[in-house]
Amino acid sequence: MPDARRAHSPGRPKSLERPKPLGKEKPELQDKPELQGKAGDHVLDRLSRALEAMRPSERRVASVVLADPGAVVSMSMAALAEAAHVSEPTVMRFCASVGFNGFQAFKFGLAQALALGKPVTHSAIELDDEPAELITKIFDHTLNSLDGARRSVDARSVADAVALLLAADDVLFVGQGASGLLAQDAAQKGVLFGVPCAAPIDPHQAFMAAAMATPRTVVVAISNTGRTTSVLEVAARAKRSGAKVIALVGGPSPLLDLADTGIVLQTSEDTNIYTPTISRLAGLVLIDVLATGVAIRRGPQHLERLRQMKGALSAFRGSTSDPDDV
């Protein structure tokens, strides 16, 4: 009985509580799949993005990893803690901060990332780089990032979006800035979607279109941050009109929460600093995926009409002399 009273005593010092054994996975992360490492999201990119939110002691661990990730793969947790001058529980907190539920899971993710190749970031560009070096660095970074984006896309989310677009009577694409360019490209592919498509440049026009939407309207809201105010307001107004909303975003965000279905397209790019070239390229490819997915599911008759249209267009612009020559 004395032991039971001490165990439940509210005044018992925390230092007397039984410590959690080192090296065990944190159970709370088991219930948060969004914190798990994703194969398409390069660990070193994710680590760089998480630096600002880390505690100073966790940043010391991050510095060791970023300085020599290959060496860290073969380290024990105790060795990494010693190299960073921190405790082993700090190493566990560090692993959790970058989305892994244990040290071994982190090392496995790091090894996978290194097998794909260490990303070349814009921070690697030097002021005295020659054009040949810039070509190599920026192209390598872009190709690596696009491959990572491809791996990050959830096929089920794409299938859900295609199903909504197939059932639509009309589609409204909405985006601002670089995302607005994606919306314009998507609207240009209206013939593939097979229904009237619009992408108003003016936010007021977009809002009016959302207010006039029907339950058979699908709104594709595009925002890498998922927090662009005008895009959020247009999407919310469309939902009040009964429309379905598909969100194309770069990660968890208010727009993703608002949407009926969402596609997360992760790119290793800080769009608050750099021109969002990679996220734009990835977005263009994703729009192609959606348009093609809808077109081929509309059946042979729709595909034949597309073939005839392309032939006529080629003749119209002088590429061929025969509208049937495709």
pLDDT of residue 152: 82
CA 326 to chain centre: 37
Report the distance separating Cα 211 and Cα 273, nearest Å.
34
pLDDT of residue 18: 41
Question: 164 CB contacts (<8 Å, ≥6 apart)?
Answer: 218, 244, 246, 260, 261
pLDDT of residue 52: 79
Q: Do domains 27-116 and 152-316 have the same CATH topology?
A: no
pLDDT of residue 171: 98
Q: For the chain, what percent of residues have pLDDT higher than 90?
A: 53
Q: What's the whole-model pTM score?
A: 0.65
The tokens for 202 are 């003016």
Is 1.10.10.10 the CATH classification of the domain at 27-116? yes
DSSP state of 199: -
pLDDT of residue 271: 52
CATH architecture of the region 152-316 = 3-Layer(aba) Sandwich (3.40)
Question: 259 CB contacts (<8 Å, ≥6 apart)?
Answer: 221, 235, 245, 246, 247
What single letter denotes the amino acid at residue 43?
V
DSSP state of 210: H
pLDDT of residue 202: 95
- pLDDT under 50 in the chain at which residues? 1-40, 120, 122-123, 273, 323, 326
pLDDT of residue 148: 78
pLDDT of residue 205: 97
SS3 call for 246:
strand
Q: Helix-strand-coil percent breakdown of the chain, rounded to 5?
A: 60, 5, 35
pLDDT of residue 309: 92
The CA-atom distances, in angstroms, between 167 and each of 155, 183, 297 are 19, 20, 11
| Contact assessment for residue 261 and residue 160, using Cβ atoms and an 8 Å cutoff | yes
- Residue found under tokens 């991050």: 62
Q: What residue spans define the domains of the chain? A: 27-116, 122-150, 152-316
